[in-house]
Structure 1
Amino acid sequence: MIKVGILTLSDKGFKGEREDKTGELLKTLVEKEGWLVSKYLILPDEKEKIVEVLTSWADKEKLDLIVTNGGTGVYPRDVTPEATKEIIEKEIPGIPEFIRYISYPLTPMAALTRGIAGVRGKTLIINLPGSPKAISEIFPSLIPIIKHAVEKIKGDPSECARN
């Protein structure tokens, strides 16, 4: 069972001015896989708070996966990638490259997403866009990657090569 934290970054969502449809969709998709949503939180776009929660969820809660949504664009308050980069120990550039690859044919605005992915301790952290449409297009393709990455991060010694 993969233990998951879902962190929504939205000033309006934090203030209750916008419903968190993206986080709720992620929760539904995660639970559909049989994974456990252990943590769910909405924060404003404030780097220090994001750093604090990501660090706590990885180090104290020992989550297997943290998916953030929102704050990955070029708006002045979008700081999710910077906060994530500050706390990860190993960056995984292939995951955001794959996300953009999936998204380019659907919207040229995919070029503006700055999300990153990486590992802190035994926790995989992935920044996703803050759009339910984007999540529905992206997340299903990430499932096998996430499963494999979590196994490897936990120390699975089996070979990765395909026959």
Structure 2
Amino acid sequence: MRLPCIGILTISDRASQGHYEDKGGPAVETSLRAILAMPFEALRRCVPDERPVIEAALSSLCDNDGCCLVVTTGGTGPAPRDVTPEATEAVCDRMLPGFGELMRMESLKQVPTAILSRQTAGLRGRSLIVNLPGKPSAIDLCLKAVFPAIPYCLDLIGAARLETDPAICPAFRPGK
């Protein structure tokens, strides 16, 4: 039986060119390994802040690699090259704005600049794409805020079943 596949996509010009160490991708994987109480295959990619490249990477992780969940990090701010939300919207069939709303709400408890973040989430076939910020401490905060809803979302779209460690991040499934 194949392990559930989770894509981790870092969006960063400098990291994709090797000028800067990718700290976002490893932070996402570390958080996921703490949250999930089951093995999974992590597929990590790093691409520049180029909308067509981001769209191609997201599509490939969902369609070709069969990732049930794709988590992005970076490119969600207001800078001109921050185009991750636009790329995500372009490849998704339906958007789930509540993810971004909750992440901003949680982040605002830490820093007033959280209102500048444009994280979002959406569905592509049987895959959920979630945009996270690029800062490792914000990644863990935001991922833990939204993850209780992710396993049920994946159940609803017919994707792989994910089980969380209830001591770290209890999943909510109605009727359970």
Answer with 72-81 or 33-42: which moved more.
33-42
Amino acid corresponding to residue 37 of structure 1 in structure 2: E
For 2:137, the equivalent position in structure 1 comes to 133
**Post-superposition offset of 1:30:** 1.6
Q: 1:52-92: per-residue Cα shift (whole Å, max 9, x none)?
A: 11111111211100000000001111110111100100100
**TM-score scaled by structure 2?**
0.84
Question: Unpaired segments of 5 or more residues in structure 2?
Answer: 161-172
For 2:86, the equivalent position in structure 1 comes to 82
Alignment of 1:23-102 (within 5 A): 23-32=25-34, 33=36, 34-102=38-106
For 1:149, the equivalent position in structure 2 comes to 153
**TM-score scaled by structure 1?**
0.91
Amino acid corresponding to residue 12 of structure 2 in structure 1: S
Runs of 4+ in 1 over 6 A off after TM superposition: none
For 1:105, the equivalent position in structure 2 comes to 109
Contact 1:65 1:125 in 2 (8 A): yes
Count of aligned pairs:
160
SS state at 1:72 partner: coil
For 2:13, the equivalent position in structure 1 comes to 11
Contact 1:4 1:35 in 2 (8 A): no
**Post-superposition offset of 1:16:** 1.2
Q: 1:35 to 1:89 in 2, by over 3 A?
A: farther
**What is the root-mean-square deviation of aligned Cα atoms in Å?**
1.8
Contact 2:103 2:119 in 1 (8 A): no
Equivalent-residue separation in structure 1 for 2:65 and 2:147 (angstroms): 22
Amino acid corresponding to residue 48 of structure 1 in structure 2: P
Alignment of 1:106-121 (within 5 A): 106-121=110-125
Q: 1:35 to 1:104 in 2, by over 3 A?
A: farther
Equivalent-residue separation in structure 2 for 1:72 and 1:29 (angstroms): 19
* Percent identical residues: 38
